[in-house]
Structure 1
Amino acid sequence: MGKTELLITVILFNLFFVSFTVAIMVYIRKYKSRKKEYLNEIKINNEIHQKELLSTQLEIQQDTMQQIGRELHDNIGQKLTLVSLYAQQLVYEKKVPQASDKIEQIYQIVNSSLQDLRSLSKNLTNDNVSRNEIVTLIQDEVNHLNALKKCEVLFNYNCDYFDLDFVRKNVLLRITQEFLQNSLKHANCDEIKIDLQSDNEAFLRLKIQDNGVGFDYEKNNAEGIGLKNMKKRAEIIGGKFSFKSKPNHGTALTVILNN
């Protein structure tokens, strides 16, 4: 074999080797790209599944609560009403004069229980979330807490209407309730601010903060069940969740939705 043939052979071998190497690299790159797309697709499908699951759970929960409310009103409520009438009749007829005071007490207790039962039944059967806007739902919570006079709750918003479905309204309301209850129980605060805003940067921004004792969130990275639930709920409806807290600087939570 002459030098020319040897040189051609070496060149061809190098070209083949380079081509083979490039082909392997292209294959690996395409494989990684397809794998990434596949994993992203799985992630998206899981997120969709979680949203559908949450929506179904909330709808089942709502139906169950309404069914319980109707059962309380139609069954137990009617029985308590009958007991109340019997007790009232015994008091007025004075057939058992030596026990009139006790029968009167029974009558009062049954009537009080009946009022509580009717109130509970009304709350359970009332489809409050579906019928009202998120602003109204949060305002009702604020009014309720301010009536207790344990802490001043301030609510500011720049939009009366947000185009939210049942699931997103329900989740935002539950997150708000969870934060408010935690602040009242643990923060030792005297003021809580709630801001619900819509602007060019976000379709909806919910920020809640208290001026309580706070805690070292960075150091104590173990999240409580309540915080995990709030974060998970926000992520399931496609929200960006952030939480901050420092000793003596209060606690703040933000949920951002980009419609």
Structure 2
Amino acid sequence: MGQTEYLLVIILFNVFLLAFIVAIIAFVVQYKNKKKESVMQLQQQQVLHQKELLAAQIEIQTQTMQHIGREIHDNVGQKLTLASLYTQQLAFENEALPINDKITGIGELINDALSELRHLSKSLTDNHIDANDIAVLLQEEFAKIEVLKKYKLNLTTESEPIPLNYQTKSLLLRVVQEFIQNSIKHAACQTISATLRKNGQQLTLTLSDDGKGFDPEKLSGKGIGLSNMKKRIALIGGNYHMESKEGNGTILTIEIST
């Protein structure tokens, strides 16, 4: 074999070796890409499954509340109404003043209970969340705390209605309720604030208190309520950011694309 043939064999061997290496690299890259796509598809399926479960859970809760509301109105309410009529009749027929006063007092208690039951029944059956703007729902939540007359409340919302679906409004409302409860129970705060802003397609809800705050690292794994809030916001495609420091209160920022 001449030198020319020898060089040709070496060149061909190197070409085949290089082609083999390139083929292996291409195969590995393709395999990794397919694996990455498979993992992403699996994650997307899991998120979709979680969203479907959440929607089903909300629907079941809504149906359950409506059923309870109807039972309160149709069953318990009617019986209390009948009892109130009986006490009114007894008070009218009885001439003994002390007994009459007691019967009247019982009737007033029953009427108060009826009024509260009617309010509860209405709130459970009239699809209140779906029928109202998120700003109205937040105002109602803050009004409930304002009755306590123990906290300074600051609420700033958009003047124009913000179109949101039932699921988004329901989850935002639950997060607000959870934050307020945590601020009242654990933060020893004096002020609770909320700001709702819409900038283009982005909705930002900021919640804060001036309480004692906490160290997030110490709370890791223990804050079930906080973890649930974060998961719920993630399910509607939102971003959740919690800032807190011992002695400096807590700030929760939620961003959602609408």
**What's the TM-score, normalizing by structure 1?**
0.91
Q: Would the aligned equivalents of 1:90 and 1:96 in 2 still touch at CA under 8 Å? A: no
The equivalences for 1:127-206 within 5 A come to 127-199=127-199, 203-206=202-205
Long gaps (5+) in structure 1: none
Q: CA RMSD in A?
A: 2.1
Displaced runs of 4 or more, over 6 A: 95-98
Whole-Å Cα distance in 2 between the matches of residues 233 and 25 of structure 1?
Answer: 42
Contact kept, 8 Å, 2:135 with 2:158, in 1: the verdict is no
Q: Distance in 2 between matches of 1:183 and 1:244?
A: 14
Q: Given residue 187 of structure 1, which amino acid in structure 2 is its aligned partner?
A: A
1:253 aligns with 2:247: no
Report if aligned partners of 1:159, 1:197 keep a CA contact under 8 Å in 2. no
Q: Secondary structure at the match of 2:243?
A: strand
Distance in 1 separating the partners of 2:222 and 2:238: 19
> Any gaps of 5 or more consecutive residues in structure 2?
none
- Residues 20 and 166 (structure 1), Cα distance of their counterparts in 2 relative to 1, 3 Å cut: same
Would the alpha carbon gap of residues 159 and 96 (structure 1) be closer, same or farther in structure 2, given more than 3 Å must change? Answer: closer
Tell me the TM-score normalized by structure 2: 0.92
More deviation, 223-232/45-54:
45-54
Q: 1:51·1:236 contact (CA, 8 Å) conserved in 2? A: yes
Number of the residue aligned with 1:218: 217
What amino acid sits opposite 1:216 in the alignment? D
Tell me how far apart the structure 2 counterparts of residues 163 and 107 of structure 1 sit (CA, whole Å). 45
Within 5 A, what are the aligned runs for 1:1-259?
Answer: 1-94=1-94, 100=100, 102-199=102-199, 203-259=202-258
Deviation at 1:68, TM superposition (A): 1.1
CA distance in 1 between partners of 2:118 and 2:136 (Å)? 23
The percent of aligned pairs where both chains have the same amino acid is 45
Cα distance in 1 for partners of 2:162, 2:29 equals: 44
Q: CA deviation at 1:187?
A: 0.9
Aligned pair count?
A: 258
Bigger shift: residues 158-167 or 36-45: 158-167
CA–CA separation in structure 1 for the residues paired with 2:215 and 2:152: 24
Deviates more, 1:120-129 or 1:216-225: 216-225
Amino acid in the other structure paired with 1:207: T
Secondary structure at 1:193 match in 2: strand
Separation in structure 2 between the aligned mates of residue 22 and residue 161 of structure 1, nearest angstrom: 59
d(CA) in 2 for partners of 1:250, 1:32: 46
Q: Tell me how far 1:102 sits from its aligned partner.
A: 4.8
